[in-house]
Chains A and B, each alone.
Chain A
Amino acid sequence: AQSVAQPEDQVNVAEGNPLTVKCTYSVSGNPYLFWYVQYPNRGLQFLLKYITGDNLVKGSYGFEAEFNKSQTSFHLKKPSALVSDSALYFCAVREGAAGNKLTFGGGTRVLVKP
């Protein structure tokens, strides 16, 4: 069975500082990995994905994520956080080409303080 772990319920960071949101996964076969963001009272918005190729993936709003196969991790990063980045972030995994199921982590709340 596939699974995703987001070990931190909440991450606090000062505006302008680097932001990291951690994600580890477990899946049979090659993973397709996704990050989504949820702002208050809104649906989930897609940020970025890793399918294959370069381990460093760049996405929307200045976010990027690094795929590490040996550590089964896909951490989300932003070099300089903004107050407007405060939101709930979800990591998700699908099992490669054969998988129809998208499994989500429990979510990490990011609070960026001015």
Chain B
Amino acid sequence: EAQVTQNPRYLITVTGKKLTVTCSQNMNHEYMSWYRQDPGLGLRQIYYSMNVEVTDKGDVPEGYKVSRKEKRNFPLILESPSPNQTSLYFCASRGGGNYNEQFFGPGTRLTVL
């Protein structure tokens, strides 16, 4: 089954404790992206990657890091999480041209205390 998977689905952590949210897709897509969803703000892009070793900042990159060492994986790293990073996070991927729709993962609900 074609899908985007994220782990963990739920995470409660404390301020300053480094964490990684994994994202993997099995569709051989070049493009991958991370979003955060906050009430009333829709989805805002954090980082995106056009292909292996090619990443770029989205609208809200502060406090986040990403890497793209393999085509299928695009982990999101929070080096020192803060309470304002409490949010619902989605990974997405897209193949082919940018006229194609994105496929979204199921989401990761992160709470930073």
- A residues lining the B interface (CB < 8 Å): 4, 6, 9, 32, 34, 36, 41-46, 49, 51, 90, 92, 94, 97, 99-107
Contacts and interface: CB of A to CB of B under 8 A. Distances in A.
A44 B104 contact: yes
Q: What is the size category of the interface that chain B forms with chain A?
A: 20 to 34
Contacts of A49: 99, 101
A25 B96 CA distance: 24
Interface of B: 4, 31, 33, 35, 40-45, 48, 50, 56, 58-59, 90, 92, 97-99, 101-107
5 tightest CB-CB pairs across the interface, nearest first? A43-B104, A104-B42, A46-B101, A104-B43, A44-B104
B105 A43 contact: yes
Nearest to A6: B42
